[in-house]
Amino acid sequence: MLRACSLTLVELAERLRGVLRSEGDRGIVINGVTPLDAAAPGSIVYVTNNAGCRIAESGRCAAVLANSVQAGQVTKPVIIVDDPRAAWMACLRIFTPVLTEYRGISPDASVDPSAVIHPRAVIMQRAVIMPGARIGAGSVVWPGVFIGEQAQIGEDCVLHPNAVVREGCILGNRVIVHAGAVIGADGFGYRADADGRHLKIPQIGNVIIEDDVEIGANATIDRSTCGSTVIGEGSKIDNLVQIAHNVNIGKRNIFAAQAGIAGSSVTGEGCIFAGQAGVADHCRIGDRAVIGPQAGVQLRRVKADTVYFGTPAIEMEKMQKILPLFHRLPELLGKQNSEAAREQPTGEGTEAAGRSPDF
Amino acid sequence: MLRACSLTLVELAERLRGVLRSEGDRGIVINGVTPLDAAAPGSIVYVTNNAGCRIAESGRCAAVLANSVQAGQVTKPVIIVDDPRAAWMACLRIFTPVLTEYRGISPDASVDPSAVIHPRAVIMQRAVIMPGARIGAGSVVWPGVFIGEQAQIGEDCVLHPNAVVREGCILGNRVIVHAGAVIGADGFGYRADADGRHLKIPQIGNVIIEDDVEIGANATIDRSTCGSTVIGEGSKIDNLVQIAHNVNIGKRNIFAAQAGIAGSSVTGEGCIFAGQAGVADHCRIGDRAVIGPQAGVQLRRVKADTVYFGTPAIEMEKMQKILPLFHRLPELLGKQNSEAAREQPTGEGTEAAGRSPDF
Amino acid sequence: MLRACSLTLVELAERLRGVLRSEGDRGIVINGVTPLDAAAPGSIVYVTNNAGCRIAESGRCAAVLANSVQAGQVTKPVIIVDDPRAAWMACLRIFTPVLTEYRGISPDASVDPSAVIHPRAVIMQRAVIMPGARIGAGSVVWPGVFIGEQAQIGEDCVLHPNAVVREGCILGNRVIVHAGAVIGADGFGYRADADGRHLKIPQIGNVIIEDDVEIGANATIDRSTCGSTVIGEGSKIDNLVQIAHNVNIGKRNIFAAQAGIAGSSVTGEGCIFAGQAGVADHCRIGDRAVIGPQAGVQLRRVKADTVYFGTPAIEMEKMQKILPLFHRLPELLGKQNSEAAREQPTGEGTEAAGRSPDF
């Protein structure tokens, strides 16, 4: 598999500023980092409680990160640290596989002469950079990426293979765009004519992605009709998420996979959208609101600091009182109505599992 | 950003066949068009009511499109038109940024000698055109696009970067395929053998996309098992939509983002599928039916001219009577059952916000 | 359209090991295979019941596959077989269009000298193979595909156009990856710092895809934080499905289109996830469990051999008792509460159809 470094336990303890519990363990070689429940020979794990210690003891890991309290419960080699999870994440960085390093512009890239590529940017083979585009220092454009005319990519960005950034879109610094993501496709806007035909409304705006944003694989962020679709600083967008035209995402939002937000909606700071959540168009989502998994927001205003759930989404606090009663409907209402129910089967539930094609 | 034209207000009034209210405003320069709530210096907006007039007055726009009635409420420069919204959309076309124009076949495209490319078609660098494919007059194939063997692209189509049209698929005229969309991947069909293995059913049909269809970024339209998956004339498909094998979409349908329709379902004319809506396999959707956001249709027949909502989806009219009672269950059923409820917490609601990974 | 072979009916009967009912039909030419409800001239269809026989009789097909019982109800030319559906699927293979065959490495591919390509592998133009990658015998890499550093592709795999397999990921034998799918993008993992910023957790693991797996167009399978995200042997993943980091999918699972499963969840053997179903993180799904369409699993454990439905998902058997009562709430609770309901409209349902943008 990928080449990762290997370190002795004493070297690793130094890098982590931790304490090696036993000098006799100095020379043990660590060549990877694993989760507790998938430990591999040669790997280091971390524990934060007694249950974790038991799993580590019986597992295949070579060493354990623990604080001074938990360390006593482990007989395997231990590096004692204040915050085992933070130390484990540092290990993830230390053991990150080293890939071949590339520099400059591949002769096999297609770069328009009018594009401005910083000398410290990397443009790999098969990438296409259109006229007037700008790529900042330290940014890496992987193969198959398309950067449209006059698009601007800031510093230290990474655009993974086959990502697309269309004309005029602007990315800040340290933006990561994963493979296959599409930034700046036309917004979905039409006007019906007298005959019911959908006439396309030109989508002449762009997308602005602020610093430190990450965009997941095959996610789509549409350009605005006019003005800009904006993704606020530090927001993280997972795979297959849809951000529609003219949406304005605040700072440090989280969109889990397959969530979607429709046209012109605006979110505050620190909002969280769980997997497959949806937000209708022209909604306003308050700061730090949490939209639960598969919830469907149709409210024009969502309160700050509040959790929502359901379709249509309501406050979680209310839903938590409703759902137990919903689940007990047969007990609460069924007895006196059981005969009627038998006579009037709706049948709609019974097809529920019939969705999978060809099965 | 992108180069857009700029016009004086009198020039713009002429283009729009409107009336410039004040001759003194003739020379004002307009260089863009914006929505009312995101007006920028130099831009023109439109108003259709008094509230809009107030926003325009206090905003940064350079000029306003209004009808003769509303014009009286605006002191900023005004072009008087019959239909301000239509005039504003004409402005979107007028101010559409001008991109570099390309002609003919890029020497850096990979075009099979047996492909038939119209002299007025444009094939850009890195595009791949396989044997026997045909590209009609005026169509533009952007970089990274793949056109499979014997595929046919009509006239005045646009295939955006990295879109894929697999072998034998047929696109009509004026079809727009956005970046990363995949047309003609194998339908999802298997047959279980005696040991429970899923044996692949060959998918030897194709996809036919009729005139004036638009397909969103990263959408997927599967080829049929045999015969054709069809997208009817004038239908508009948003980003990340899934159209399964053997589906037949009628004319002028709308599929909002992330909606999906399973194998062999058939839709009428003018149907609307809101965001994240789903339709099971082998359903028939009546003309002009509306499937609400996140609704899940499992009915074999959906009535024409009817709105559906919920999972499983039922008629909206019925759902509107049910939902208020659902939301009031604690009040209606909770009192006499509150103790029992407390003793039997289902707990299922409480994990609702736990979907977001690593939070 | 695509070139398919044509056979006389007697030739086809031999290939299918069936019996041609009438010698007079020997010379009839069959050039395609169609579903019963979309029969075309020259095509063969299959019937399994009387209704099917009537459709075949009135349709345009040239011949019919039937068992000896049903054959009596058809006057059109018939090949008698034991299992008409199996014979029809054999026809799908027989009539699969023949595409141009390619061999070896296209001079227009970008293959790193350190990559190991089997002599019987096919690397088409515009494909990119990074250092140290391995491609096994009989595997076909279509144009625009990216194979990352040290990635391993087994034997007889097909990677359709513009698919991406990132560094270190491992595919078994006979794996099919459809166009635009992304395997091995970073998992969605962050840690909040004291200021609420989301710090990226390095994702240093990989994806392992076992033998006979099929991955749909534009699907996304994330690499693990460390260790491996695993897709078990024989599992079939449809278009636009999301498999998050550290997920472990068992053997022979089915994920229908747009389903998603969040981080670290584990599924048993033979599970089925219907369209748009979702599973939260850290769940365990029992063998052969069925998660219904749009169902949202938030339970930490899902029972084997059980169907689930709803959000939050509960056992289908329970849901089937609840839904009829839910649908009858106006009748069961509405009468005595109708006035109160009228006074306290929630309004939330009424916006349900308002999701489609710009309509």
Instruction: Give the residue-averaged pLDDT of C127-148.
Output: 98
Give the torsion through C-alpha atoms of B323, B324, B328, B329, to 10 deg: -30
Cβ–Cβ of A218/C180 closer than 8 Å?
Answer: yes
- Helices then strands, each counted (H, E), chain C: 7, 41
Nearest to A311 among B89, B99, B294 (CB): B294
Check residue B3 and give its pLDDT. Answer: 66
Region A126-154: what's the mean pLDDT?
98
| Residues of A catalogued as catalytic | 245
The reported pLDDT for the residue numbered B32 is: 87
Q: Which of A125, A162, A330 sits opposite C322 (nearest CB)?
A: A330
Site from A203, A258, A315 to mutate, C interface, most C CB atoms within 10 angstroms: A258
Contacts of B254 in chain C (CB under 8 A): 356, 359
pTM of the entire predicted model: 0.92
Report the alpha-carbon distance of residue A34 to residue C205 in Å, rounded. Answer: 9
Q: Kindly state the average pLDDT of the residues C193-209.
A: 92
Query: Among candidates C127, C220, C136, C122, which has minimal Cα distance to C170?
Result: C136
Q: What is the pLDDT of residues A27-56, one digit of tens each?
A: 999 988 988 887 888 899 999 999 999 999
Tell me the nearest-neighbour CA distance from C22 into chain A, angstroms: 33
* Among A228, A222, A226, CA closest to A245: A222
Q: Which two tokens stand for residue B333?
A: 């059923």
Give residues 252 to 291 of B whose Cβ lies within 8 Å of C. 254, 256, 258, 260, 262, 272, 274-276, 278, 280, 290
Which of A249, A294, A331 to probe the C interface (max C CBs under 10 A)?
A294
pLDDT classification of A1: cutoffs 50, 70, 90 = low
Q: Which chain A residues are closer than 8 Å to C227 by Cβ?
A: 34-35, 38, 40
- Is the CB of C149 less than 8 angstroms away from the CB of A99? yes
- At residue A350 the predicted structure's pLDDT band, cuts being 50, 70 and 90, is very low
Helix axes B9-16, B84-94, angle to 10 degrees: 110
Closest CB to A292 among B263, B310, B355: B355
**pLDDT, tens only, C21-39:** 999 999 999 988 988 887 8
Instruction: Tell me the pLDDT of chain C averaged across its residues.
Output: 91
**A-chain residues within 8 Å CB-CB of B326?**
322, 326
Task: Compute the CA torsion angle C153, C158, C162, C163 (nearest 10 deg).
Answer: -50
State the pLDDT at residue B336: 56
Average pLDDT, chain A: 91
Domains of chain B, by residue range, sit at 7-94, 104-317
Residues 6 or more apart whose CB falls under 8 angstroms from that of A51 comprise: none
C282: pLDDT strictly greater than 70: yes
Whether the Cβ atoms of residue C194 and residue C157 lie closer than 8 Å to each other: no
- In the predicted structure, residue C342 carries a pLDDT above the cut 60: no
pLDDT at B356: 32
Rounded-to-integer distance, Cα B188 and Cα B220, Å: 12
CATH class label, A110-317: mainly beta
Q: Taking the domain A7-94, which CATH number applies?
A: 3.40.1390.10
Q: Which residues contact B287 (CB under 8 A, 6 or more apart)?
A: B250, B268, B269, B270, B271, B304, B305
Q: What is the mean pLDDT of residues A293-307?
A: 97
pLDDT reported for residue A32: 87
Residues of chain C neighbouring B276 (CB-CB closer than 8 A): 276
Task: Say whether B278 and A144 touch across the interface (CB within 8 A).
Answer: no
User: What is the per-residue pLDDT for C56?
Assistant: 94
Mean pLDDT of all residues in C11-19 = 96
Of A216, A208, A125, nearest to A178 by C-alpha is A216
Q: What is the pLDDT of residue C34?
A: 86
**Phi, psi (deg, nearest 5) at residue A314:** -130, 175
Domain B104-317 indexed as CATH 2.160.10.10: yes
Give the chain C residue nearest A276 (alpha carbons).
C278
Structure tokens that stand for B320 in this block:
């509107």
Residue-wise burial string across B148-165, b where 16 or more C-beta atoms lie within 10 A, e elsewhere: bbbbbbbbbbbbbbbbbb
CA distance C307 to chain A (A): 7
Q: What one-character-per-residue DSSP string does B36-72 give? A: GGG--TTEEEE--SHHHHHHHHHS--SEEEE-HHHHT
- Degrees, nearest 5: CA angle B70-B72-B74: 85
A342 reaches C (C-beta below 8 A)? no
Confidence grade of residue C356 (pLDDT, cut at 50, 70, 90): very low
Q: CA nearest A274 in B: which residue?
A: B356
pLDDT of residue B41: 87
Collect all residues with Cβ–Cβ distance below 8 Å to C338 and sequence separation of at least 6. Answer: none
Using DSSP, state whether B149 is helix, strand or coil.
Answer: coil
The pair of three-digit structure tokens given for residue A19, joined into one six-digit string:
């304490």
Burial readout C193-228 (b: 16 or more C-beta within 10 A, e: otherwise) = eeeeebebbbbbbbbbbbbbbbbbbbbbbbbbbbbb
Nearest to C168 among A2, A276, A345 (CB): A2
pLDDT digits (tens, 9 = 90+) for C239-267: 999 999 999 999 999 999 999 999 999 99
- Residue C301 clears pLDDT 90, i.e. is over it: yes
List of long-range contacts for A50-58, beta carbons under 8 Å, 24+ apart: none
Report which of C47, C72, C80, C51 is spatially closest to residue C61, judged by C-alpha positions.
Answer: C47
Count of B–C CB contacts within 8 Å?
270
- List per-block mean pLDDT (blocks of 10 residues) for chain B, which spans 359 residues: 81 96 94 84 93 93 95 95 94 91 96 98 98 98 98 98 98 98 97 89 95 98 94 98 97 98 97 98 97 97 98 97 96 68 40 31
